[in-house]
Amino acid sequence: MRAEKGRELNVPSDVYLSFVSSLFGNRSTLFTGMVVHILTYLVVYLQTNAAFYLFLCGCFAAVFAYRIYSFKQFDQVDKSSLTRAAIAGWEMRYVIGGASTAAILGIGSGYAMLAFNDTFAELACIAVTMGSMVSVVGRNYGSRLAVDLQTLACCTPMVIGSLLAQDLFKGLLSLMLIPFFLTTRAMANGVREFLYENVIASREMAKIADRFDTALSNMTHGLLMLDPDNRIEVINRKACELLHLGDRQRLVGCDLDVVLRYGVRHTFVDGSMPSLLQKQLAQMTQGLSSRAQMHFSEGLVLEFSANRRAEGGVVLIFEDVTARVRADRKILHMARYDALTGLPQRGYFGELVRERMDQTDSFGASVGFMILDVADFKHVNDLRGHLTGDRLLTALANRLTALVAGKAIVGHLVGDQFVLFFPNVDNRADLEAEMRAVHEAASGPCDVEGLRLPVSFSAGAAIFDSEALSMDDWPVKVDIALFESKARSKGQFTLFVEEMDARYLERQRLKEDLRAAVENGDITVVYQPMFTPDGRELRCCEALARWYHPEKGAIAPNIFIQIAEEMGIVSSITSHVLRQACIDCRIWPASIGVSVNLSVHDLRSAGLVDSVKAILAETGFSANRLHLEVTESSLIEELSSARAILEELRSLGITIAIDDFGTGFSSLSYLDTLPIDVVKIDRSFVRDIGENQRRFKLLRGIVSLSRGLDLSIVVEGVENREQLALLSKHHCADLIQGYVFSMPISPAAVIELAREVESRKGTGGASVA
């Protein structure tokens, strides 16, 4: 009992209210019961003449009136506002009415069993009472208290009456009412428990269904669940939105093909889309594909996946991948096209060439490739800024595209290089003429934001038979032709010929040999002395790298140094020369220093200063005897970083010199902005100074400016005594370097030369001048 009572206390209020509301329902049986009860007791009264039954009829009417009044009041109550206590109050009002009716029936039956020996009276009262007891389970299952009180109210007076009648058989029969009471009570409790569990289960199922519906409605994916006959069982809101199908409730049970055709007819795609979608769905469900992407329009791309259900039918899930597809297209475009010029990049340019070759009948035709390299483009970036350089490249891309529209494919390689493909020209001579014409037309001034910039292209080209075209060969041959153009002079057009390939292979072999020579330490060092103008003092020697090839003999420095720069190993040569110079100079007289050239690659290296420090420490050479020379071209390319590096080197006590001064673009500005100690005037200013007064005046102007900045002056390339005499007469040099005093010599010869100079000083000999 306690367990049952506790369970009822735990029943949710809304479920409790539904049970109590069930008590106040089905009122027609209430009226029928009241009429039957009164008529039965009137008949008993007529049979027995017992006025007591008339009294009971009055009680029936009074209780019925009370119950009808309670029912009407319950109807008028706002059920949503009822508290649990109020619900319990209404239950009690019903229980009082029901128990009162049951008590009247029980009392009437008990009185008949006690007061009369009339079988009819007993049978009539007990029959109507038992009939009412049967309805207790069906009508009052909603209240345990109602069932208990009504059953007790009916049975107890009957048991008491039968026992007081002192009839053994009646007493035994009345005791059978106890199991009847228990059975009735158990049946009512079972019905109530069953209904309670079903109500709770229904509530949970409703919650789950609501949650499921909420989850479906808020999915970012569209979902369709189809039965084996292709009819829609479940469709979520997102699916309706993506396919523009309207209210989803009216779609359940409809054939998917019909639904899609309806959507097609009223929205945005052509009539073939449903059948195409069905075909792809069939492929997915058969395992032929796992996904299908459908392009409904430019603004909608859906990706579908389908899974076969065990009982038949399909679960179809799809999502809007329009943004992803657009992003993929953008990424693909970025991978294929240069962001600056909008031209195809190298990889995609090759794909376009293959497609063009596959699309046309190229039998017997020739195709051409040409690379255009903007001459002196770096100076545009350095002098005008990278933004101007970028805009120049964009303007040139537009110019080239317009020039070859319909005739060639234009692509962008790297930096300032463009590539053109000329497809299927019948005559090789015509194709060469066309490429030369494009090269000539592409050159010329270009206006960029009010600036008129001169433009010329170095061009390398190659012509191939279309049947023999190799996609791996053409870049190599065109690059070789471009290299030949740059080697000749800027702005040239060079068509590849087989002899160039041989020279290229020879150069490649030379590169391999040079790499081996650098690794094995086969680069030697000679020294060209620098004398005072009177020839009496040897002050410094410039270290010069030399390479003697075992088969080709001596390789000119301008050749192998250029190759080393291309290979990126020139810094290794610089380190080798610097180390050897420090070792050699260490045994020379202390008054003689050594000068070593630095390349632009050295100035780009963040480890240059550390490398110099390490070599000085390794050789034990004094930094005060070391001179480092930088060319103007290296300063132009790396001015900001070069300044910081040179200042740090100078702080070590090393002398800094500008080599080949006067051949660059902004030479005079360097004298003031860079940490320089020595200016080495290029040999081009010394040539013909006796006959060319203009050149000599320019040389003297540079000397005057340099002396005004307290810089030492070395004049290079002095070849004869007339040049030396003129320079000495006008005090144009602190040191002279040239064949007039000495050609480059070995380290041991420097010692001998130093002794010879010293001996002349001791004997007071005349100067070489």
Q: Is 80 exceeded by the pLDDT of residue 364?
A: no
The candidate with the shortest Cα–Cα distance to 234, out of 258, 198, 209, is 209
Out of 274, 301, 327, a domain closes at 327
Helices (H) and strands (E) in the chain, counts: 29, 21
pLDDT at 766 over 50: no
631/534 same-domain check: yes
φ, ψ of residue 285 to 5 degrees: the values are: -70, -25
Q: What is the pLDDT of residues 459-471, one digit of tens each?
A: 999 988 877 777 7
Question: Do 620 and 490 belong together in one domain?
Answer: no
The per-residue pLDDT for 622 is 93
Do 662 and 626 share a structural domain? yes
Closest alpha carbon to 740 in 761, 760, 719, 717: 719
Task: State what percent of residues in the chain have pLDDT above 70.
Answer: 82
Higher pLDDT, 12 or 457: 457
pLDDT digits (tens, 9 = 90+) for 601-638: 888 887 899 999 999 999 999 999 999 998 876 666 55
pLDDT of 111: 80
For the four alpha carbons of 383, 384, 386 and 390, in that order, the dihedral sign comes to negative
Exposure string for 733-761, b = 16+ CB within 10 A, e = fewer: bbbbbbebbbebbebeebbebbeebeeee
Cα torsion angle, 737, 742, 746, 751, sign: negative
Under a CB-based contact definition with an 8 Å cutoff, are residues 224 and 302 in contact? no
Q: Is residue 709 part of a domain?
A: yes
| Angle separating helix axes 428-442 and 386-403, nearest 10 degrees | 140
Domain CATH code at residue 408: 3.30.70.270
Three-state secondary structure along 576-597?
HHHHHHHHHHCCCCCCCEEEEE
Do 569 and 652 lie in one domain? The reply is: yes
Residue 168 and residue 262 share a domain: no
User: Structural domain of residue 175, as residue ranges?
Assistant: 2-203
Give me the pLDDT at residue 284, please: 66
- Boundary (domain end) residue, out of 301, 327, 353: 327
C-alpha distances in angstroms, 336 versus 457, 716, 726? 24, 52, 64
Cα distance between residue 560 and residue 572, in whole Å: 13
- Asked if the structure places residue 769 within a domain, the reply is no
User: Looking at the domain assignment, is residue 759 inside a domain?
Assistant: yes
Rounded Cα gap, residues 393 and 399, in angstroms: 10
For the chain, how long is the longest CA-to-CA vector? 181
The whole-model pTM stands at 0.52
Place of tokens 């020996």: 117
- Specify the CATH number for the domain of residue 281: 3.30.450.20
10 Å CB burial of residue 126 (0-12, 13-18, 19+) is: buried
In this structure, the answer to whether residues 717 and 756 fall within a common structural domain is: yes
Evaluated on CA atoms 57, 62, 67, 72, the torsion sign reads positive
Residue at token pair 């010599």: 745
Residue 511 lies in a domain: no
Does one domain contain both 346 and 369? yes
Identify the band that residue 763 occupies on the pLDDT scale cut at 50, 70 and 90: low
Distance CA 71, CA 61 (A): 15
User: At 742, is the pLDDT very low, low, confident or very high (cuts 50, 70, 90)?
Assistant: very high
Number of Cβ within a 10 Å radius of residue 366: 21
CA neighbor of 192 nearest in space, from 4, 10, 25: 4
Number of domains in the chain: 4
Question: Kind and range of the H or E element at 308?
Answer: strand 300-308
Residues 167 and 267 occupy one common structural domain: no
Q: Sign of torsion, CA 98 104 110 116?
A: negative
Checking if the pLDDT of 212 tops 80, the result is: no
Cβ atoms of 493 and 459 closer than 8 Å: yes
* Confidence band of 270 (pLDDT split at 50, 70, 90): low
**Mean pLDDT value across residues 573-597:** 94
| Structure confidence at residue 7 (pLDDT) | 47
> To the nearest 5 percent, what fractions of the chain are helix, strand and coil?
60, 15, 25
Query: What pLDDT band is residue 197 in, cutting at 50, 70 and 90?
Result: low
Beta-ladder partners of 420: 370, 410
What integer pLDDT is reported at residue 530 of this predicted model? 95
Q: Which range (36-40, 210-214, 448-452) has the least confidence?
A: 210-214
DSSP codes joined into one string, 627-664:
EEEEEHHHHHHTHHHHHHHHHHHHHTT-EEEEEEETSS
Average pLDDT, the chain: 80
Please indicate whether residue 70 or residue 677 has the higher confidence score (pLDDT): 677
- Closest CA relative to residue 392, chosen from 444, 317, 464, 330: 444
The whole-number pLDDT of residue 267 equals: 47
Non-local (6+) Cβ contacts of 561 within 8 A are 545, 570, 573, 599
Q: What's residue 765's pLDDT?
A: 53
DSSP string, 500-513: HHHHHHHHHHHHHH
> What DSSP string runs through 110-158?
HHHHHH---HHHHHHHHHHHHHHHHHHHHHHTT-HHHHHHHHHHHHHHH
Report residue 214 as tokens.
């909420």
Tokens standing for 439?
Answer: 């090269």
Tokens of 371: 């690379």
CA distance 482 to 487: 9
Q: Residue 2: pLDDT band by 50, 70, 90 thresholds?
A: very low
pLDDT band (50, 70, 90) for residue 264: very low
- 445 and 541 share a domain? no
Q: Is the pLDDT of residue 398 over 70?
A: yes
* pLDDT at 769 (0 to 100): 39
| Within a domain: 504 | no
Model pLDDT for residues 95-125, shown as the tens digit of each residue = 887 778 878 878 887 787 777 776 777 788 8
Q: Confirm whether 507 is domain-assigned.
A: no
Residue 419 bridge partners (DSSP): 371, 411
Residue 717: which of 746, 695, 749 has the closest Cα? 695
For the segment 423-438, the average pLDDT, to the nearest whole number, is 85
Q: Which of 217-226, 301-310, 533-542, 654-663 has the highest mean pLDDT?
A: 533-542
* Residue 67 three-state SS: helix
CA angle 584, 589, 591 (to 5 degrees): 115
8, pLDDT greater than 60: no
Residues 180 and 250 in one domain: no
Predicted local distance difference test score (pLDDT) of residue 3: 45
Would you give the distance in Å from CA 348 to the centre of its chain? Answer: 22
Task: Please state the rounded mean pLDDT for residues 357-366.
Answer: 71
451 within domain boundaries: yes
CB-based contacts of 320, cutoff 8 Å, min separation 6: 242, 300, 301, 302
pLDDT for res 614: 94
546 and 491 belong to one structural domain = no
Dump pLDDT digits (tens) for 21-38.
Answer: 777 776 677 777 788 888
Same domain, 277 and 418: no
Quick check: is 509 in a domain? no
**327, 358, 384: which is the final residue of a domain?**
327
- Tokens 């979608």 appear where? 277
Beta strands in 478-537 (DSSP E): 493-495, 524-531
> If you ran DSSP here, which 8-state letter would residue 766 be given?
P
The per-residue pLDDT for 268 is 45
Confidence at residue 100, expressed as pLDDT on a 0 to 100 scale: 84
Joined together, the tokens standing for residue 428 give 């090789």
| Sign of the C-alpha dihedral computed for residues 247, 251, 256 and 260 taken in this order | negative
